[in-house]
């Protein structure tokens, strides 16, 4: 396979499905040799409009677009939903092709984590110990799993640009820090949250929600909107209180609803001259949902 074969894949509603990293590197080598730009969109599949917005952004900016499709066991803790995480590879391939992907890299677990695998990439400190990284929640091990697999993808694909969604704001901050600290030659693009018509942030886990739970889940985005409106009028603490009240009225007890600096995730107590990230996580039925808003000064 060469660049000539890669380039028209999206035009024909087709996409190259590759399983092995050697096969992937061989396919991308001509593009790299000719100085073509490579964009990477890492996913765990079960694509929704959020993923597709990343693919379309990559298509607009890059000569070759690679989407990874890998449900990463290293970022799931005991008792989490690894086994029932939604999967539909055929649908994903079709949607990826329509959105402009040239290559879908879908390696087997045994290739990513071969027998005897013993090396991990971990961003330490505040970035991975608060919010989802709190040991009482998903814990820092979750982010160790994320950074390890993303580092491996960067090594296998060698992208110029990698695209992530703002819905996973903490993950994006962690990956930016990893890239900075380890000198990965890749630009990280974080694109806005894509929402359903009812304002629920798009997530593969939304598939777990029953109809009544889906209605209750919209309280997360309503709570964040309340935080923003009230915080700009009466201060951040009043805003957080308003957000908690919205969740309480929907019968939702959040794991967290917190204001943090969007870069280092240090706690923020009042609005100042920098944007403030307000992040929320809550269990609604079988779905653990996250959402956030950036309050601009």
Dihedrals phi, psi of 126, to nearest 5 degrees: -60, -35
Q: Are strands 38-43 and 161-165 parallel, antiparallel or unpaired?
A: parallel
Q: How far apart are alpha carbons 175 and 19 in whole angstroms?
A: 24
* Cα 185 to Cα 146, 158, 182, 224, 264, distances in angstroms: 18, 8, 9, 35, 21
Percent helix / strand / coil, the chain, rounded to 5: 45, 20, 35
Q: Is 51 a catalytic residue?
A: yes
Q: How far apart are alpha carbons 212 and 203 in whole angstroms?
A: 17
Dihedrals phi, psi of 287, to nearest 5 degrees: -105, 130
Closest to 66 measured CA to CA, from 188, 190, 158: 158
Q: In what order do the strands lie in the sheet with 256-260?
A: 256-260, 276-284, 287-295
Beta partners for 103? 16, 66
Q: Identify whether the C-beta of residue 263 lies closer than 8 Å to the C-beta of residue 276.
A: no
Catalytic site residue from 10, 51, 142, 273:
51
Active site residues: 51
């Amino acid at each position: 396979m060469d660049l000539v074969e890669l380039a028209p894949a999206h035009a024909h509603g087709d996409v190259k499905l590759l399983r092995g990293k050697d096969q992937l590197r061989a396919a991308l080598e001509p593009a790299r040799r000719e100085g073509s730009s490579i964009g990477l969109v890492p996913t765990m599949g079960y694509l929704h409009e959020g993923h597709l917005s990343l693919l379309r952004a990559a298509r607009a900016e890059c000569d070759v677009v690679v989407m990874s499709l890998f449900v990463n066991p290293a970022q799931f803790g005991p008792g989490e939903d690894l086994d029932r995480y939604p999967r539909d590879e055929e649908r994903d391939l079709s949607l990826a092709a329509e959105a402009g992907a040239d290559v879908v890299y879908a390696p087997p677990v045994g290739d990513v984590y071969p027998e005897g695998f013993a090396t991990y990439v971990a961003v330490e400190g505040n970035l991975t110990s608060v919010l989802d990284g709190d040991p009482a929640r998903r814990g820092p091990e979750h982010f160790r799993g994320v950074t390890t697999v993303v580092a491996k993808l960067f090594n296998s694909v060698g992208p110029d640009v990698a695209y992530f969604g703002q819905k996973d704001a903490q993950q994006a901050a962690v990956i930016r820090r990893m890239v900075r600290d380890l000198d990965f030659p890749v630009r990280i693009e974080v694109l806005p949250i894509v929402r359903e018509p009812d304002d629920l942030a798009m997530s593969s886990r939304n598939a777990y929600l029953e109809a009544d739970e889906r209605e209750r889940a919209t309280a997360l985005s309503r709570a964040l909107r309340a935080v923003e409106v009230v915080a700009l009028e009466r201060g951040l603490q009043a805003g957080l209180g308003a957000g908690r009240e919205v969740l309480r009225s929907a019968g939702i007890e959040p794991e967290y609803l917190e204001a943090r600096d969007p870069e280092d995730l240090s706690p923020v107590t009042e609005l100042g001259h920098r944007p403030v990230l307000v992040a929320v996580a809550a269990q609604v039925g079988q779905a653990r949902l996250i959402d956030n808003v950036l309050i601009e000064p």
